[in-house]
Structure 1
Amino acid sequence: MQKIWIYIMIAAMIDCYEVWTPENTNASLHFLDIKRTCRKARQSKGKLWKICRKEHKILEEINKGSQLATKECQYQFRHRKWNCTTQRKSLRRVLLTDTRETAFVNAIVSAGITTAITHGCTSGNLVQCTCDSKKKVLSHAEDWEWGGCADNIQFGYRKSKQFLDSPHRRKDFRTLVLFHNYEAGRQAIKKYMRLECKCHGLSGSCSLRTCWHKMPPFREVGARLLDHYDGSFKVIPGNDGKSIISEAKPHTKENLVYSENSPDFCVANKKTGSLGTVGRSCNATSRGIDGCELLCCSRGHHTKVDRVKKNCKCRFSWCCEVVCDTCVAKIIKSYCK
C-alpha cells in the first residue's frame, strides 16, 4: 500500500496537463498536479482528503507554491546538465529514481508550498490563519519591540507537512528519504527567518523600532537548497529499519539525501529520462558549470552569430526630440554539439 502511495505522489508531481485551479483555467507546466493528488486521496479519507474537500483556498496557495518551486528549480539548474525540465516523460523517469535531482525537487516543492501558504496568511488570502500573533516583550538590549505583521511560518510549515507527508502511512526506506528531503525544504525557510524593522520617532530619529519576523526571499531559499544538492549525502537503511544512515559523515535535517547515483545527463537516454545537452546554450569563455567544456561533456560546441539592429548614438535635438542612429550589433552564441 505504501509503494502505491509513493507512485501516486510521483505521478501527481509529473502529470502536468491537468493542474488544479479553482476556475479550471490552464496553468503553466509545473511539478504538482493537485487535482490528481486529491482524486487519489479520496481513498484514504485522511488529513490530505480533508484539505482537498474543505480547504480550497489552501489548495490555491499550494498550487502557487508548486509553480514557484518549478520556476526556482529551473533557474537554479539553468546551467546544469539536467536543467529541471518539465518535459513530461523525462521528468517521470527522473523522479522514479532516488537520486540527488529527485531530492532537490522534493525539497524545493516542500519549500515552495510552505512559502506560499505562509504568504497567504500574511496577505489575508486565507481565513484559517492571520499574521503570527505571538508577542514578545520589549528588548532591553535594543530600543525595539515586537509588532507589525510577522509571517506565520508555523501554519505554513504544518499545512505543508500535512499535504505532503500524510498520504504515507508506512515508513519504509524510500519514504524516510522522501520525508527527510521534504523537511529539508521546510527547514531552508523556517531556520532562516529574518528580522525586519520599521523606525518610529520625530523626523525619522528611529528612537524606537517595531520589528517582526519575515521569510527569506525564495531565491535565497533556492540557492541554499542548491548548495545542499551539491553537498548531498548518500544514505543507506539503518539497522533498526526506522532510520537512514549516511555512508560518509553524519547528515543533519537540513542536508539533502539520496540513495541512488545520478545517471549521465550528457546524452539522451529514454530509460533514465536524460534529454542530453546537444543544442544547449553554453558560455564559451567560462570554465564553470555553464562553460561549454563541462556542459557539452567535452564534445565541443559551435557558434552562431546573430546581427541585431538597435538604436545608438542618441542625442537630444532642439526642441524636444531624441534622434538616434541605427547600428548593427553582433551577438555570438555558443551551442553544444
Structure 2
Amino acid sequence: MLFYLFTGGDNRRVYLGTRSVRSGWIWRRIAGWGVHLAARTHSPIRVRQSEARCDRAAPRASMRLCEGLYFLILWVQLSQAVGSPLVMDHRSICRKTRRLIGKQAEICRKEPEIVHEVIKGAKLGTGECQFQFKERRWNCSTADKFFGRILNQDRGRGNDWWRNLQDIRETAFVYAVTSAGVTFAVTQSCSMGELLQCGCDYQMKGESPDGSWEWGGCGDDIDFGYTKSREFMDAQTRHRSDIRTLLTLHNNEAGRLAVKNFMRTECKCHGLSGSCAVKTCWKKMPIFREVGVRLKERFNGAFQVMGSNNGKYLIPVGDTIKAPTAEDLVYTNESPNFCKRNRKTGSQGTKGRACNATSMGIGGCDLLCCGRGYKERQVVVEENCKCRFHWCCVVKCSKCTAVKTVHECL
C-alpha cells in the first residue's frame, strides 16, 4: 500500500501526506525514500521531474504579470529579454538562462524547483507590498510600465541598466519584502516536504534549562531558505562596487533578517487527557503578515545614506544620525510625491483612487488626493448577510444588495 502511494500515485500526494504531521519526521523520511525509489522505477514522479527541467522547447506559460514583478525575480536584464509581461513559470524563466549569470544560471539549470519557490516568494512579497501600501499614494501597483519604473527609472541598455535605478524608500521596501518572500517560500517548502534538497531543521537538541520541555518536532530550516534567497537575489550585484550595489545588498539582507531574526518557538503537549507529560518545541517562522508590518515600520524609519569615499560603505546623511543596522532600510534620494501620473517615474497618480472622507491619516481624502478634492458617488454592492451556522460544520449566508457611498480623488 505504501509502495503504491509513493510510486504509482500523484506526485502531490507524497507531500500532502506529510503536511499535517509537523513532528512526523519518519513520514518525511519514508516520503523521501518513496520519491527516490520512484525515480529509479520510471514512475509518474520521474516523468514530472523531467518535465520540470529547464527545457528550452517547453511550451510558453500562459500566466503573465507585469514588467515590474518580472524585475523582482530576474531583475531588469531578464525583463529586457522577454519584453513587458512576466511569465510566472520556472520553465520559461530557465529558457532565458543565457540572460542570467553566475549563481542564478546555475540554480536555474540544476535546481528548477528552487526557481519555482523564488517565483512564489516574489508573488508573496508583491502581495504583501500591496497590502501594506494600499492607502498610500504609491500603492505598490503592478500595472504594466509603472511598477518597474519605480525600481528602474530611464532604464539603460545592455549591462548598464543598474546605473539608472531609483534609490528611494519605495525601492528599498520592494527589494526587502521580495527577498523576505523568497526566504519564506523556500523555507516553508522545506518544512512541507516539497523540496528534496532540504527538510526539517533538527539542529536544536536537548532540553530547556528548567527541563520543562525538549526540542523536537519539525523546525523550519531557515538557514536553507536564507542561503537560497541570498544566492539568487544577490547574484546580479554581488561583485559590483558602487553605492547602488551596496543599497541593493543591504535592503535584500534586511528583508531576509526580518524573517530569520524573528523565529518563534512553537510547542505541543503530549500525554493522556492533555496532561502535557511531555512537551516538545521547535522553531517556526513568523507569519508573513508580521514580516510585512515589520518591514513597513523600517520603511517609515528608513535611513538616507551616501557612499563613503572608497565606495565600500554607506554613511548616514547628517552628523548626528546613527549608522543604520543590518535590519534597517536605506535609500539615497527623496521620493516623488506620486500625486500626478508620470510614466517616467512610474507614478500612476491618485486620480480616481478611493479615499476615506472622514480620516485625517494617510488614506484620508485630504492627503491621498493631494489637495485636489474628491467626488462622492453611490454604488450598489452585493454582500453576505443573514449568515447562520448549521451543524456540523457549515456557515451559510444569503446574498443581499446594499447602497454604499464611495469617495474618489479628482
- TM-score (normalised: structure 1): 0.86
CA distance in 2, matches of 1:261, 1:13: 26
Q: Runs in 1 of length 4+ with deviation above 4 angstroms?
A: 11-16, 34-37, 308-315, 324-328
Specify the SS of the correspondent of 2:295.
helix
Specify the SS of the correspondent of 2:146.
helix
Give 1:39 deviation, angstroms. Answer: 3.6
Give 1:310 deviation, angstroms. Answer: 7.1
Residue in structure 2 matched with residue 298 of structure 1 by the alignment:
371
Q: Alpha carbons of 1:312 and 1:83: their partners in 2 closer, same or farther (altered >3 Å)?
A: closer
Render the CA deviation track for 1:151-206: whole Å, top value 9, x for unaligned: 00000000100001122212211100100000000000000000000011221012
Q: Alpha carbons of 1:313 and 1:126: their partners in 2 closer, same or farther (altered >3 Å)?
A: closer
Match of 1:139 among 208, 211, 222: 208
Residue in structure 1 matched with residue 322 of structure 2 by the alignment:
249
Residue in structure 2 matched with residue 218 of structure 1 by the alignment:
288
Residue in structure 2 matched with residue 118 of structure 1 by the alignment:
187
Give 1:328 deviation, angstroms. Answer: 6.0
Out of 90-99 and 117-126, give the one that drifted further: 90-99
Residue in structure 2 matched with residue 329 of structure 1 by the alignment:
402
Q: Alpha carbons of 1:309 and 1:131: their partners in 2 closer, same or farther (altered >3 Å)?
A: closer
Give 1:88 deviation, angstroms. Answer: 2.4
Residue in structure 1 matched with residue 343 of structure 2 by the alignment:
270
Q: What does residue range 162-177 of structure 1 map to in structure 2 within 5 Å?
A: 162-168=231-237, 169-177=239-247
CA distance in 1, matches of 2:234, 2:387: 59
Match of 2:144 among 88, 104, 112: 88
Specify the SS of the correspondent of 1:297.
coil
Out of 84-93 and 115-124, give the one that drifted further: 84-93
RMSD: 2.6
Q: Alpha carbons of 1:326 and 1:208: their partners in 2 closer, same or farther (altered >3 Å)?
A: closer
Residue in structure 1 matched with residue 127 of structure 2 by the alignment:
71
Specify the SS of the correspondent of 1:98.
coil
| Runs (5+) with no aligned partner, structure 1 | 25-33, 316-323
Give 1:49 deviation, angstroms. Answer: 1.6
Say how many residue pairs are matched: 312
Residue in structure 2 matched with residue 194 of structure 1 by the alignment:
264
Q: Alpha carbons of 1:95 and 1:36: their partners in 2 closer, same or farther (altered >3 Å)?
A: farther
Q: Alpha carbons of 1:190 and 1:300: their partners in 2 closer, same or farther (altered >3 Å)?
A: same
Give 1:35 deviation, angstroms. Answer: 4.7
Render the CA deviation track for 1:13-52: whole Å, top value 9, x for unaligned: 796623241566xxxxxxxxx45873411xx3x2222101
**Relative contact order, CA 8 A, sep 6+: which one is greater?**
1
Match of 1:10 among 76, 80, 102: 76
AA matched with 1:130 = G
Q: Alpha carbons of 1:183 and 1:310: their partners in 2 closer, same or farther (altered >3 Å)?
A: closer
The 8 Å contact of residues 118 and 153 in structure 1, kept in 2 or not, is answered as yes
Q: What does residue range 151-162 of structure 1 map to in structure 2 within 5 Å?
A: 151-162=220-231
Give 1:218 deviation, angstroms. Answer: 0.6
CA distance in 2, matches of 1:215, 1:112: 12
The 8 Å contact of residues 143 and 207 in structure 1, kept in 2 or not, is answered as no
Residue in structure 2 matched with residue 228 of structure 1 by the alignment:
298
Q: Alpha carbons of 1:261 and 1:139: their partners in 2 closer, same or farther (altered >3 Å)?
A: same
Out of 150-159 and 262-271, give the one that drifted further: 262-271
The 8 Å contact of residues 94 and 112 in structure 2, kept in 1 or not, is answered as no
- TM-score (normalised: structure 2): 0.71
